[in-house]
Amino acid sequence: MTIRVPFYVVDVFASQPLSGSPLPLLPDADDLDQAQLAAIAREFSQPETTFLLRPSLPGATVRIRSFTPAGAEVGGAGHNALGAWVWLEAAGRIAPGGTLAQEIGGLVLPVEVIRPPGQPAVIWMDQSPPRFGATAGDRPALAAALGLAGPDLAAGEPAQVVSTGAAHLMVPARDRAAVDRAAPDPARLRALLHQAGGEGCYLYSRDPAAADAVAYARFFNPTMGIAEDPATGSAAGPLAARLAAAGQIPRAATVVIEQGHALGRPSRIQVDISGPRIRVGGSGLVVAEGTLTLA
């Protein structure tokens, strides 16, 4: 029996096609088992591939599962989840406004879909309250793992693990040029991340290209098989929480974080912070569709 499964590709945190973070998306994936989900993610070989399923927890509108090319399941609400809501709205499966929620990583988190007149839908997703973890004290080793020299890291600011659903190591760089020069050694960076208790590494500077942004970043995640991701909402939320805790941005603000320039896919990630409440927001476009033949 031939099994055909429809798929879509969404450019997330993007205002035009071929920018932002490309997300393969498979709706109505309830009949696929976990081995198939992981194999399909390997087939697409994008940073993450997302599957939509019927919810299993009360109050959820949809259940979202996402996998990396290495077959690892991702629990944080970032571009993997925001792209799902972009598709759901574009496909007419939800209406803007009302109460929406996503089941992801064993949690049910609120989602808001706003459709400004004549504009693409804007998605706002709650993340978990921030948790601040360990610092990475060996600056020379961290710089070397990132392919940088010690002075390329910001003086007097330690790298720290922060989580709003996924624990990532926030690494402040001296400037945007240092962020662009980074060429990580995956094995060395993976070892440092394991030691610090972090999943991925968010290297950032405070001199973004756009005047309305607060940081310029790149994301590396060798622990999950992601060389580099052009837009990472699950890391942008923790970064905003860290900047607010350090007094570098207000504790109640909506800010923009730039990412993806080094990959030629510039992305703008919005983060709304209000005390412990962190929301990540942005838009996207459905840019492709097709059918997978699985048997």
Enzyme catalytic residues: 48
The 10 Å CB-count burial string (b at 16+, else e) for 77-101 is bbbbbbbbbbbbbbeeebeeeeebb
48 closest CA partner among 14, 25, 16: 25
Helix (H) or strand (E) holding 189: helix 186-196
Q: Using CA atoms, how far apart are residues 188 and 280, in angstroms rounded to an integer?
A: 30
Q: Is 89 helix (H, G, I), strand (E, B) or coil?
A: helix
166 closest CA partner among 249, 295, 243, 66: 66
Rg (CA), the chain: 18
Q: Is 292 exposed, middle or buried (0-12, 13-18, 19+ CB in 10 A)?
A: middle
Helix (H) or strand (E) holding 36: helix 34-44
Q: Using CA atoms, how far apart are residues 192 and 189, in angstroms rounded to an integer?
A: 5
Helix (H) or strand (E) holding 63: strand 62-67
